[in-house]
Amino acid sequence: MAISLLVPAAEVLLEQARKKILVVDDDDAIRTMVERVLRREKYEVESARDGYEAIEKLTRGDYATVLLDLMMPRVDGHGVLKYLETTPETPRVIVMTANLQGASETASASPVFRVLSKPFDIKQLVTHVRECHDAEPQPA
C-alpha cells in the first residue's frame, strides 16, 4: 500500500522539477516581469541578478530551464554557459539579449535552446518556454 503512494508522489516531484526555471537578468524590471508571467503559467521560478549568483543557484538546484541574459556584471551569460557545459545535468537555456549579432556564436552552444531578442514579446517567451519543456530530454 505504501509503495503505491510513493509512485504518484515521485511522479509529482519529477513533474515539478521539469517545470523549475531560473531567470537570470541584471535588469530588475525584466527579471520581475518574467518571473510573474511564468508563475502565472504554473512554473516554479527562481531568479538571479548576475551570472555569479546564477552559478551558485545552479550548483544547489535542479532546473529544467534557464532564461539567461548575456550582458551582466561579475559573471556574464557566456560564463554561465561555460559552467553549464561542465555539469552532468544541463538545463536547456533560452538566451535573452539585446545584441543578436553578438549572440550568433552563443546560439550554437550545446545547452542553448532558443535566442530571444530584447525587447521580446511576452507571449513569444511563454511559447518558447513551453516548447523547451515539451522537447525531448537532452542527452547527458
Give the sign of the dihedral formed by CA 65, CA 28, CA 106, CA 51.
negative
The pLDDT confidence band at residue 16, using thresholds 50, 70 and 90, is very low
Residue range 92-124, pLDDT digits in tens: 999 998 876 555 555 556 688 888 888 889 999
Give dist(CA 124, CA 138) in Å, integer.
22
| CB-based contact 36:27 (threshold 8 Å) | no
- This prediction has a pTM of 0.81
Superfamily of domain 13-133: Response regulator (3.40.50.2300)
Q: Where are the domains of the chain?
A: 13-133
